Structure 1
Amino acid sequence: MSTPGVDLRLVPSVLAAAVTAWLVTGPARAVAPVAALVGVAVLVVLGALALAYGRSRARDTAGTGAPGPGVVAHALLAAVCVVAVCAGAAVQTDRQAPLAEAASDGALAHLTGRVVSEPRPAVFGGGRRWVLAVGSVTVRGATAGTTGQVEVTATGPAPRFGAVVEVSGVLRAAPSGDGVLARTTSGPVAERESPGALLRGTHVLRAALLDVTEPLSPQARGLVPGVAVGDTSRLPPDLDEAMRTTSLTHVTAVSGGHFAIVVATLTALCALLRAPRWVRVVAVGAVALGFVALVRPEPSVLRAAWTCAFALLGLALGRPSAGLPALAGAATVLLVVDPWLARSYGFVLSCAATAGLVLLAGPLARRLTPWTGRPLAFGLAVPWAAQAACGPVLVLLDPRVPLTSVPANLLAAPALVPATVLGLVATLLAPWFPGAAHAVAWLAGVGTAWIAAVARGFAGLPGAALPWPGGVGGALALGLVTAALLAVVLRRSPRHGWPRAWREGLPRALRRARRSVRRRRTAALVAGLGAAALGVVIVAVPRLAALPGAAVPADWQVAACDVGQGDALVVRTGTASAVVVDAGPDGAAAGRCLDRLGVTRVDLLVLSHFHADHVGGLAAVLDGREVAAALVSPLDAPEEQAARVRAQLADAAVPVRTAAAGDHGAPGDARWRVLGAAGPAPASGGSSPEGDGANDASVALALTTASGLDVVALGDLEEPGQEALRRALQQGRAAAGVDVVKMAHHGSRSQSSGLAGWLAPRVTLVSVGADNTYGHPTDAALGLYEATGSAVVRTDECGTAVLVERDGALALACV
């Protein structure tokens, strides 16, 4: 069960635990008891086999084809892991029942629990969101003990990590496998109990680091806290996107690499001081525990910490450390304790990257050494191995294959260690010696400047990322392609190595080819196949990778851009011009969509309201395009976001006008008219789940294309806002029935059946992200529009949805 140099004995067990955990935490979680019973039955059978082998060890099983004792032992361990995971899932599901029941009922609940995540900006609105590990839930006056996590979006200062708080709000059930059972919104939340002493100390360190890095350059303000403690709250959006494109996000995602740097630095100090083994074990363990508290126990951090713990156990016992058994043991323990980790991308990517380094880095380095020398071979092998292992998982998050990740990581690697070490030193100095900490952080910023330059430089290259099919099919396809390439690269080399074979064998082969007709034919065949393969790679693969769909139709009229969980609707007004409604969330997705559509001029930019998922990508829309005018919501909520948007438009010299019902215009070959743009006052909160009234202040817009298609964009109107719009349309005697509707609020449950029936569109576009955590679109919303006879098209399934009209019929292209 092992290969030379690599101990694979625990691999079947961890794979069995991972698959079981993934199954019992998803929609089919009811299979957990059945799986546990099957596992127990297998345990009984395998136990009997093991006992039989123990009583007859002299029997030679090699010739009989029966499994040996080692195989039985490994299968027995795998069955134990399956039963343990099922038992853990069943126990936790039972303890989560009161909270899960309240969430499924949409009940108003009072929660008490501990904050277990750092705050992040709210997806919608201007609050902050964080995760609460619930200890008790009170519904309709009845209190029950429970477990489970709830994502809370609240206004006001966010409570500190580790603090005990009380929250009241309406619970909304989260999709299965999301890591949280429910979500809720709340007003300001006060701490009921402060975090423990250790966590209070880490809060001081993290806050002080942010203070001393505040005067640094934008990249250093974002990256130095990121590489040191994983705080990416100030990372510039363009740099974040560049790091994603070049697979450099591990720089700020604290995991095994950061642990390796910290442990290696501490181990070197212990060796320099000639500390005994027990001192090294205690010192590394204490520092690792403190480091986990400092960077927060995210899934990838937990994986790295437990792997470190297994390695320390081996060191304490005097056993040589082995990377793969430590990883497998750590992952198995964590999956038994928390089976929901099997659905955490951070945990899966951390495990995959580590396994890739252990299994592939060495063989790849040995294969590359004759060509490049040992140092460069190792430098290339590490990112190559990590990318090969993580690639199939990453395409589930972002359907692109980064083609520049290996050279980008190779060039960025020399700066990562000094930037991390100096960032941690600055963190430790910041509360007591802020001047010295600022100087050290500035030095760390020199290293991060190099990382930022590498990320931006490679991300800006043509073809930096290859489009690839998303979903499970795309992941399997990439896995097969990766396995095939590795098989070719790692196959047994010629006797004297590739370089020598290349130098000596090629001229000899060419001489023989000239003398032999057969050799000439073989060479021609190989050359032809090689040219065909190259043609497939250059021409066919990018087209196939763009599935589902091909090139953008030349006569496109309307496009719902795939920007993830956000909105960006484009209505064509000319050859290279369009009306653009919303700019999507942070990142370059909306800009890339406009580039694909060939839009170089925006006749009118409509920002339906100021939530981040509708205006976050504004910079990418403005970049390189002429924007004639902008029309914005009459309600500046959230105020900070609205001010930032207005500043961006002012910097780009874009005229801005506040929308009002009845506003109209006729850019190019199209026409537009504002149907409604009057929301509730900010104090009322409206019906928006975010509590700021911005959703019902969305600009509702009607557009007519050059070919006569009637399009209605509803922004994020909630049911009251939609009802008000319906009444206004009926009172104004507007014609019922349109061609296309952009469904309100990503298909949330808050929909007006009256408006849906009045509009009765031929096609309903739903702009929604595949990985959204809100359950959008709801079955009720989809059914509402399907009942009108409308064809519903979702961007999470179609990608960018492009509509054309040919011979009076609407046609769809998914690009």
Structure 2
Amino acid sequence: MTSPDLRTIAAGESSTVDGPPPGRWRLLAPALTSWGVCAWMIVTPGAAIWVICVVATAVTALLVLALWFGGRWRSTWVIVAIGCALLVLLGGRVAAVEHGRYDPAFVRAAAASERITLEVDLVSFPQSSAGEFGAQRSWVRAQAPGARGSVPLLLFFDGTPEANWAPGTRIRVTGVLTRTPSGDTAAYTMRVTEFAMALAAGAGPQERWALRIGEVTVGLRNGLSTAAAQIDGAELVPGFAVGDTSLVSDDLDAAMLESSLTHLTAVSGANCALVTGAIMWLLARMGAGRRVRIAAAAGALAGFVTIVGPDSSVQRAAVMATVLLVSGFGGKRASSLPALGAAIAVLLLIDPWQALQAGFALSVVATGGILLLATPIALWLRRRVRLPQLLALPIGVALAAQVACGPFLLLLQPGIPAVGVLANVLAAPAAPLGTGLGLVAMLLLPLSPPLAHAALLCASVPARWVAATAEVASELPLARWFWPEGWAGALLLAGCQLALLAAWALHRGYLALPGGVRAPRRRPWANIEPPAHSLRIAIWVIASASLGIFVAVTVITPTSERFDTPANWAVVACDVGQGDAVLVRDPSAPEEVMLVDTGDDEERLEACLDRFGVDRIALLVLSHDDRDHVGALPAIIARVEAALISPASLEQRGEERDVVRQLRVARVPTTTGVAGLAAGGRAGEADAAAGQIPDPGAEFEPALAGLRWEVLAPRAEVTPADTNSASVVLMVDAGDTRLLFLGDTGLEEQQEILSRIDQLEADVIKVSHHGSRDQDQGLPARVGAAWALVSVGADNGYGHPSGDTLAALARAGTRTLRTDTSGSIALSLDGGSLRPWVERQAAPDVGAHP
């Protein structure tokens, strides 16, 4: 978001004496309107034709009005004419793309779920990620030729992609098509079971030339990644240069995200500006003319885009840079806001489906915010705070981008990243240096590996600086402020920001109160009259209301929530969505806390731990290895003192499990939970029988003050068939409260436990597998619990919890509390009985009173 090209634009506008050129809104306003209409057309199939008809009718009426009124409203007619032209073009483009997306052959194949074979052309570089147990999963975007035109696809396959795959590569794939919603960029997804290169030996020169370019591109990218992997601290360099983040660890990626620095490793306007700026500076030193410099810069930009790939983010950056180059080609002064409007229009015409992409929205609002706010903020910092221009402009750019993107970021991630401005200012000098040296190293690798190695060593220095900035910034206190997520939070934040902007505009005289009351405009060497009393009151009220709401939400709301949280809780079911995370402790020994599972949402889990004051986890129990039970482990592993994990299932034998690796690297004493293991044991007692000792010889002290526990299943002599059947079933006594944790066991495992154990009574039961149907309906009656906890995500696609399971609990006289309806749930001891506390006062399904 804080791109050097945008800083140049901002600085350039502040240096003009003539003021901005006229008509700067004539292109941006129609482009923004067309963007909104385009988004509506995409989610409403068939609406494009109606838009074209309505616009054509409106144009006819407007021509009549224009002839009638003459040139009195000429600027209005220009804006309307541009808007109508854009709507007609976008309507035609959307209609044409929809015609190809709904190709009858593809529709029939997806409806029948039949395996088909297609020849497709890749349109992006493939990407990969590690699965739950180290398995590699990859995906790549492609286009398939259809009877009506190209059909966009998203291909998924197991394993790693071929090394020579690049945009333009043609491959033959076999798999099953699945149709996507109308707003998705890809019309279909395909689970690929077989693939092979499809370019024949007798292909034409155009295909061979495209293949050769792809091979060169892949060679350069892979060479840079391979060379960077051999240098400590250089993992960010391929991301700086070409957007390749394959070397970035999960921890560093999380730190970059938390500190709002992820845009530095995604190809953006900063990279394009660096390439074009370097070429133009070099040619200027050689005495080349302006037209030659611009033409050479455009050629270098085209080559850069070829190397990094024609992804949406690259298209946005390249189109913005191209528009600015073209605007200056004819000798006229470039104008930033018309360039932004032209970029929006061109990008939507290239791919209308970008209108619904979060990256497109963030790119547009960040650019607009920088163009409109960066210069005033920098001028204020220079005049009022006395900061030098070297610091004022980067801070102004970072703050403007953060303010503009704030409401949109709430739709993607909860909270306000307050540390983002500081992190971006600190990283701003290092990122361009790392990008430039990374590009130089990539180009030198085929020519001189020693020189390329030296360039990479130099590039690793700024890369280490950015990584250190991200890690330190993400750990700072109050790095992220509380703010409601979703559309409600986004609209509330936008309202606060607009109110402050309105107060500033009233103070500066850019806006007037009803009745024409306006503050006098400030002019050099002129006496300024004090503003009217009513205007001062209006400014004070608007600014105070905005700041008051902001402080109330960010400070008072979290504080009041903390006071509302029960202090003597014994059990807490954290609301982590579709997953499990349950805290247990004896209220008389509050420092000894057990956490059973982590869920898969790191932010929700950390928020729950912070809310209930849990800084240290004496014992972590990972009931089994499914991601919805262990996915958030990296976020809290530093707080864990000992861990109890499930035995390896049949499908996991012979490989190191991901949870074992994480705990081993973090040096957390670990043992395997099998039937018979209880509080006070030592590592290794049951591990040998379970077939795996994660950390041989490690001291494991699972005896906790106020907590007594025993593992009921699985048995050591039986190898579970899968991860669910390997679930650790645990009975825990927390003071005077007994709890039964069933993991994700199913009917078969529960029947085995019932046949083997007579005494299963408990006060609280954690219902298995989010309340799925696969349960023994007689188990609730045998347990006789007063309360049942169902940890389940709202609106999940699995039908959890099952009506049969809820009915069985009700018949047993057990009250059921669900995280999908009540949020986080706490049970506290009050007069010898458990009293529930819920985060949200929704009407939970509580069943009958016991």
TM-score of the superposed pair, with normalisation by structure 2? 0.76
Displacement, 1:730? 5.3
Q: Which position in structure 1 is the counterpart of 2:699?
A: none
- Tell me what 1:52 maps to: 64
CA contact 1:17–1:85 (8 Å) conserved in 2: no
Q: Distance in 1 between matches of 2:378 and 2:780?
A: 62
Q: 2:752 aligns with which of 728, 733, 747?
A: 728
Partner SS for 2:25:
coil
The amino acid that maps onto 1:280 is R
- Measure the CA separation in 2 of the matches of 1:414 and 1:553: 47
Inter-partner Cα distance in structure 2 for 1:527 and 1:327: 34
Which is worse superposed, 446-455 or 757-766? 757-766
Pair 1:155-2:159 in alignment: yes
Q: Percent identity?
A: 31
Separation (CA, whole Å) in 2 of partners of 1:466 and 1:559 = 24
1-structure distance, mates of 2:371, 2:502: 17
| Higher mean C-alpha deviation, range 437-446 or range 325-334 | 325-334
Taking the aligned partners of 2:32 and 2:306, their CA distance within structure 1 comes to: 29
The 8 Å contact of residues 174 and 195 in structure 2, kept in 1 or not, is answered as no
Change over 3 Å in CA distance of 1:647–1:282 after alignment to 2: same
The equivalent of 2:51 in structure 1 is: 39
Question: 2:153 is matched by which residue type in structure 1?
Answer: Q
CA distance in 1, matches of 2:502, 2:763: 55
Query: 2: CA distance between counterparts of 1:386 and 1:211?
Result: 34
Q: Which residue of 2 aligns with 1:449?
A: 464
Is the counterpart of residue 275 in structure 1 residue 275 in structure 2? Answer: no
CA shift at 1:428, angstroms? 1.2
Q: Structure 1 residue 661: deviation in Å?
A: 4.8
Question: Residue 672 of structure 2 corresponds to which residue in structure 1?
Answer: 658
1:473 shift after superposition: 0.7
Task: State the distance in 2 between where 1:528 and 1:24 align.
Answer: 41
Structure 2 vs 1, CA of residues 785 and 554 (structure 1 numbering), >3 Å: closer, same or farther?
Answer: farther
Q: Which deviates more from structure 2 when the two are superposed, residues 176-185 or residues 112-121?
A: 176-185
Q: Which amino acid aligns with 1:714?
A: G
Match of 1:340 among 321, 331, 353: 353
Which stretch of the first structure deviates more once superposed, 70-79 or 413-422? 70-79
1:72–1:652 CA distance, 2 compared to 1 (3 A): closer
Tell me: CA distance 1:753–1:695, structure 2 relative to 1, closer, same or farther (3 Å).
Answer: closer
1:113 matches 2:151: no
Q: Secondary structure at the match of 2:476?
A: coil
Among 216, 220, 231, the alignment partner of 2:231 is 216
Query: Compared with structure 1, are the counterparts of its residues 728 and 161 closer, same or farther at alpha carbon in structure 2 (3 Å cutoff)?
Result: farther
Deviations 1:235-267 (A, max 9, x none): 233332332222122111211122122221122
Question: CA 1:808–1:580 in structure 2 vs 1: closer, same or farther (change >3 Å)?
Answer: closer
Q: How does 1:518-667 map to 2 (within 5 A)?
A: 541-544=554-557, 552-561=565-574, 568-573=581-586, 574-584=589-599, 590-591=605-606, 593-610=608-625, 614-615=629-630, 617-623=632-638, 625-635=639-649, 642=656, 645-661=659-675, 663-665=677-679, 667=704
Q: Of the candidates 806, 812, 815, which is equivalent to residue 838 of structure 2?
A: 812
CA contact (8 A) 1:712 1:740 kept: yes
Aligned partner of 2:316 in structure 1 is 303
- Work out the number of aligned pairs and report it: 754
Cα distance in 2 for partners of 1:409, 1:252 equals 13
Q: Quick check: 1:778 aligned with 2:785?
A: no
Q: Following TM superposition, by how much is the alpha carbon of 1:485 offset from its aligned partner in structure 2, in angstroms? A: 3.1
Given candidates 96, 114, 137, the residue that maps to 1:128 is: 137
Contact 2:773–2:802 (Cα < 8 Å) also in 1 = no
Q: TM-score, normalised by structure 1?
A: 0.79
The alpha-carbon deviation at position 419 of structure 1 amounts to 1.3
Unaligned runs of 5+ in 1: 138-142, 509-517, 687-692, 716-720, 769-775
- Distance in 2, matches of 1:186 and 1:805, equals 54
User: Are 2:29 and 1:12 equivalent residues in the alignment?
Assistant: yes
Q: Aligned-pair distance for 1:442?
A: 1.4
Task: Tell me whether 529-538 or 436-445 shows the greater mean CA deviation.
Answer: 529-538
Tell me if 1:714 matches 2:743: yes
Summarize the Cα distance change of 1:91–1:319 in structure 2 as closer, same or farther, 3 Å threshold: farther
Aligned-residue offset at 1:767: 5.1
Contact 2:291/2:329 (8 A) holds in 1: yes
CA contact (8 A) 2:624 2:743 kept: no
State how far apart, in whole Å, the 2-side matches of 1:174 and 1:377 are.
46
Match of 1:87 among 95, 105, 121: 95
Confirm or deny that 1:401 pairs with 2:416. yes
- 1:637/1:134 CA distance change after superposition, 3 Å: farther
Match of 1:23 in 2: 40
Separation in 2 of the partners of 1:120 and 1:193? Answer: 24
Does residue 1:410 correspond to 2:425, yes or no? yes
For the 8 Å contact 2:823–2:838, the answer to whether it is kept is no
Q: CA RMSD in A?
A: 4.6
Contact 1:571 1:580 in 2 (8 A): yes
> What SS does structure 2 have at the residue aligned with 1:212?
helix
Alpha-carbon contact 1:127-1:155 (below 8 Å) kept: yes
- Take 1:499 and 1:68, find their aligned partners in 2: how far apart are those partners? 33
- Give the C-alpha shift of residue 422 in structure 1: 0.7
* 1:377-526 to 2 correspondences below 5 Å: 377-489=392-504, 492-493=507-508
Provide the C-alpha distance between the structure 2 equivalents of 1:290 and 1:677, rounded to a whole number of angstroms: 62
Residue by residue over 1:374-422, the C-alpha shift from the partner in whole angstroms, topping out at 9 and shown as x without a partner, is 4332122101111111111111111111112222222221112211111
Task: Confirm or deny: 8 A CA contact 2:86 2:345 kept in the other structure.
Answer: no
Matching residue of 1:689: none
1:366 Cα deviation from its structure 2 partner? 3.1
The whole-number CA distance in structure 2 between the counterparts of 1:567 and 1:18 is 41
Contact 1:24 1:89 in 2 (8 A): no
Answer yes or no: is the 8 Å Cα contact 1:578–1:604 preserved in 2: yes
Matched, 1:69 2:47: no
Q: What is aligned with 2:5? A: none
Paired letter, 1:437? A
The Cα offsets for residues 133-191 of structure 1, whole Å up to 9 and x where unpaired, read as: 25279xxxxx9997232341403555633344444455666666454456565668554
Distance (whole Å) between structure 2 residues aligned to residue 111 and residue 696 of structure 1 = 39
CA distance in 1: counterparts of 2:672 and 2:633, whole angstroms: 17
Query: Counterpart in 1 of 2:848?
Result: none
2:25 alignment partner AA: L
- For the Cα contact (< 8 Å) 1:743–1:766, is it kept in 2? no
One-letter code aligned to 2:34: A
Task: Determine the C-alpha separation between the residues in 2 that align with 1:51 and 1:608.
Answer: 71
SS at match of 2:102: helix
- 3-state SS of paired residue (2:416): strand
Closer/same/farther in 2, CA of residues 699 and 151 from structure 1, 3 Å limit: farther
Distance 1:604 1:358, change over 3 A: same
1:673 maps onto 2:711 in alignment: yes
Over residues 61-105 of structure 1, what are the superposed CA-to-partner deviations in whole Å (9 max), with x where a residue is unaligned?
A: 69xxxx95335425524542563464255324423x655665566
Q: For residues 39 and 495 of structure 1, do their structure 2 counterparts lie closer, same or farther at Cα, with a shift above 3 Å needed?
A: closer
For the 8 Å contact 1:680–1:696, the answer to whether it is kept is: no
Q: Distance in 1 between matches of 2:270 and 2:654?
A: 36
Asked if structure 2 preserves the Cα contact closer than 8 Å seen for 1:214 and 1:221, the reply is: yes
- Judged with a 3 Å threshold, the aligned counterparts in structure 2 of structure 1 residues 651 and 246 are, in CA distance, closer, same or farther, namely closer
Q: In the superposition, relative to structure 1, how do residues 75 and 659 fare at CA in structure 2: closer, same or farther (>3 Å)?
A: same
Aligned partner letter, 1:290: G
Task: Indicate the structure (1 or 2) with the bigger Cα radius of gyration.
Answer: 2
Q: Is the 8 A contact 1:426 1:441 kept in 2?
A: yes
Q: Give the whole-Å Cα distance in 2 for the aligned partners of 1:183 and 1:427.
A: 33
CA distance in 2, matches of 1:680, 1:286: 66
1:792–1:414 CA distance, 2 compared to 1 (3 A): same
TM-superposition CA deviations, 1:529-560 (whole Å, max 9, x none): 99999887666533436999975432444445
